[in-house]
Chain A
Amino acid sequence: MAPSAESSQRHTSTAPAPPTPPRHRAASPRRGLSLRQRTALWGVAFIIIPLAFFLLVRIYPALVAFDVSLRDWNIMKFNKPYIGLKNYQRLAADDGFWNAARNTVLYSAIIVPASLALGLLAASLIQLANRARGAYRMVYFLPYITPTVAVSWVWRWLFFKNGGVLNQILISLGLTPQPFLQGLDQALLCVASVVVWQGLGYYIVIFLAGLEMVPHEYKEAATIDGASGWQVFRHVTLPLLNPTILFLAVLGTIRSLQIFTEIMNMTSGGSGAGDLGGPLGSTMSLVVYIYQTAFYQFKFGYASAMTVVLFVVILAITLVQMKLLNKPVEY
């Protein structure tokens, strides 16, 4: 035991501050500290670095965000005076903000229902097909773990207006080529469908887990009572999946409110500033707008106010979800 205890000691001294082992304390011999006190000391030693980390890297910066949001904080100017709620008031009259907010709601309204419907459909089919379950799950999940930047550029190439494969297929079928990502009224839909394409595997995996929880006896009983396959699904399976659907809906909504990487890589002009949100800002999301305001226009105060708004919205959704999920499922 001796060598391992020694190596443990060496580890403690390099990482967390070790509590002084009781036996080294001249004043209080080993018997002086009760087992409970020693455990408490170890507990403090184990938690002190993580606790300091969360205070300094999460909580303090969150407070800074509130503080900055109350100032006229432009990185180009030396003075950063407090201006009260002016940044928040400015939001009301900012067309760019409302455009981004509207687009973001639109993203959620497309992505979440489409992912839920397709995810549930695919998961049900996988269960129905009964064979090759693992293979289907593996393939459908693949895009989810692929780097979003790579996915975005691959789809940008597929969607490419002049010579992209989708337009070539359309042309060879005798149809009109589409502008896709360069179309004012198509770009957002294209980005949203790529998000659905990439995220679907996650929905499928969670739905499969949910479907497995539905007791087989229930379905059997309904079938014996004369219910058709669809009726069993509609009146037995679906109600029992309510918690899964709610979980995915909330998670999907929160994620699509934060959509950023896809837009930056699919619809930005590339190197130039100011054209981040696609044609005429038609794909601009809230987070892309925040990024542009902060890191292209250097209005940190104003951008922070927007992040606070985003925080409040996400918090509200989370709280509603906690309230709903704590309730037992009702049929």
Chain B
Amino acid sequence: MNDSRPVSNRSSQIWAHAILIMGIATVVFPFLWMLATAFKRGAEIYSISLIPKRPTLANFRYLLERTMYGRWYLNSLIIATVVTLSELFFDSMAGYALAKLRFPGRNLVFVLILSTMMIPTEMLIIPWYLMFTRTGWIDTHWGVMLPGLISAFGVFLMRQFMQGMPDDLLSAGRIDGLNEFGVWWHVALPNVRPALAALAILVFLGNWNAYLWPVIAIESAKMRTLPVGMSLFSGEAGSEWQLIMAAATLAVIPIMIIYSVFQRQIVEGVALTGMKG
């Protein structure tokens, strides 16, 4: 960034800050209101005040004791973690093969995988539902996870990064006696660590937030993921907004924690890849 920019002077800088800070208020206010409501009790939720008079944890206690919220949390955690690990493993493995190993039909396979990116999920959910009904995978973790275990986008991303790796590096690994699996695992993967981290964050967030397929693939209350559970719970909670906002708060907290730690990686990862699950 160049600091002496002729196009900006002091007063326009101050104006820019003023407008941006107003924008920040618009961004932050809904979160603050969510928090405020979550700690209020009964009729107090209708008072215009960001600070609850007598803050209470009763709403959170209700969620954890009287609903299956904890279970939904666990379901989401398991699903997002397994899908992320699977994508890291298989996407990078396929990406490595497509970038660095010559085998017959390689270009055809690449085009085929790439072309699946054009198929919108909406078109696949009915066939998945029919297939998984037949195999008995509806209402299982496996059924929710399977469609996401490998992604064309991830393969594409990994291939791009693997291609940028010097061949000499890989040859050195082979001379050291590693077989191709060892070269991929011990030489290639450590070299694309930033890309793996970006992919991991995106896949995890995408699956933590996913709604369309889970809401179809899940039937019983105990199998719900957090978004599905929250959605159905809130629909039944009527005007108990303090409970709904407590549920939203619990759904948002892990994201906030991850975001506060990996803020730069997340923003740059999304900018780099332009994807949301």
Contact = CB atoms under 8 A, between A and B. Distances in A.
Interface of A: 1, 4-5, 8-9, 11-12, 15-16, 18, 21, 36, 38-44, 46-47, 49-51, 53-54, 57-62, 64-65, 68, 122, 125-126, 128-134, 136-151, 153-155, 157-158, 160, 163, 165, 168-169, 172, 197, 202, 205-206, 209, 212, 216, 219-220, 223, 229, 232-233, 247, 251, 258, 260-261, 264-265, 268-271, 287, 290-291, 294-295, 300, 303-304, 307-308, 310-311, 314-315, 318
B274 A47 contact: no
B166 interface: no
A21 B13 contact: no
B182 A44 contact: no
B96 interface: yes
Given A46-B93, A155-B30, A64 B130 contact: yes
A16 B180 CA distance: 13
Given A65-B126, A146-B252, A229-B12, A16 B93 contact: yes
Interface residues of B, number: 107
Contacts of B104: 40
Query: Does more than half of chain B's interface fall in helix, strand or loop, or is it mixed?
Result: helix
Interface string B244-268: 1101100110010001000110110
Interface stretch (B54-62, B191-199, B224-232): B224-232
Interface string B168-191: 000000001111111011100000
B236 A271 contact: yes
A165 B126 contact: no
A57 B128 CA distance: 8
Interface in B101-145: 101-104, 106, 109, 112-113, 116, 118-131
Query: Does more than half of chain A's interface fall in helix, strand or loop, or is it mixed?
Result: helix
B20 A126 contact: yes
Contacts of A160: 239, 241
Contact of A143 (B27, B48, B126, B186): B27
B270 interface: yes
Contacts of B267: 137-138, 141, 205
Contact of B5 (A12, A130, A146, A290): A130
A142 B30 CA distance: 12
B271 A147 contact: no
